[in-house]
Structure 1
Amino acid sequence: MTVTPADVRSAACLAVATLRRARDADWSVRAGALEWDCWETAEHLIDDLFSYAVQLASERTDTDVPFRYTQETPGSPCNAVRAERATGVDGLLLALESAAGLLHAVTATKPAEARAHHVFGVSDPEGFAAMGVVETLVHTYDLASGLGIDGWEPPADLCARTLHRLFPDAPVGPPPWPTLLWCTGRGELPGLPRPATWRWYGEPR
């Protein structure tokens, strides 16, 4: 049930292949139920993957690496990195692939005992890999919803490993992908109210 660096790359490859189907769509529409548009949401995902990589690379357990985070417009994500809009969706997806590759490389080369700060608890390379996977899976869900892409459902075993690592209190029994959507406030499970707030637990088990 271990989340591996290869899972980061796999999740990103699946996401990019899916999102390329909407390369000619209007990415200024809202990303599903989020307040951000699709371009902003993709940039937020890129920034997440980048931020996890540089944080783990630092092995600082007491604070975030002090990159400068800014908003382009009120209500938009606070990012340290952005994609060049003039390169279009192809450039945006290239930036996503690159950020995932960076996180893959850092998690693959750091020893298991490495630790770094995260707001949801000091974590290890597996934890940061799992965070990158869940961000990729659920934000691709948001993007697919906004862009009208049907059929986004990542592999059950990838979802199950992510749930095992980051969501120890996840319901047992329902399929992994609907459970991951429920755990991140995006889906319904029979007999359970949707969480009003949610978080993961990145601390090593």
Structure 2
Amino acid sequence: MPPYDPSAFPPFAVTVDLVVLTVRRHALCTLVVRRGEPPFQGSWALPGGFVRADEDLGAAAARELLEETGLTAYDPAAAEPVPGNGAHLEQLATYGAPDRDPRMRVVSVAHLALAPDLPAPRAGGDANSARWAPVEEVLGQRKADDEDGPSGELAFDHARILADGVERARSKIEYSSLATAFCPPEFTVGELRRVYEAVWGVSLDPRNFHRKVTGT
């Protein structure tokens, strides 16, 4: 058997992309950055970047979140968890279409981060601005109130990644306690109900919700 030859295989890179969700002004919002470099220069995108040779995926996701936005997160599944503001961080899915990045073959491991009412982000890395935007506006389900906000398709395949992240959050809060990741350490049943309403995009009967929550 001939010896293993790495040069016989096409090179490819691994990146992490971040779907960061929070509830602001009773609306489910996502973090987007305006790209400052090609490709898609000037377009809005999810925060993220290339994984370094000496780091695992969870650490790369936490690092990119900090570098591009100034926000920190905590990944309990990481080999070396990165402490921060208590934001929930988990792997979402892997995206590897051959033409998803015009630079080269790039496989992205997307992560989902959730936290309560996060502060205004700070742009950095290859992003020249960062902002919170309502999910409905970013996904084109509602007209944007701000002309400078995201409009049209996000860069790369980030619209699909964002839609998958929102669907993950919406489904998981139905059968788990994930909704509390959007709340501060102490919260009322009314505040929790408004989180469910923001994530699901529906109005819930306060009495029925209170009865269900206190019963479980």
Larger Rg, first or second structure (1 or 2): 2
Say which structure is richer in helix: 1
Say which structure is richer in strand: 2
Both proteins in one fold, TM over 0.5? no
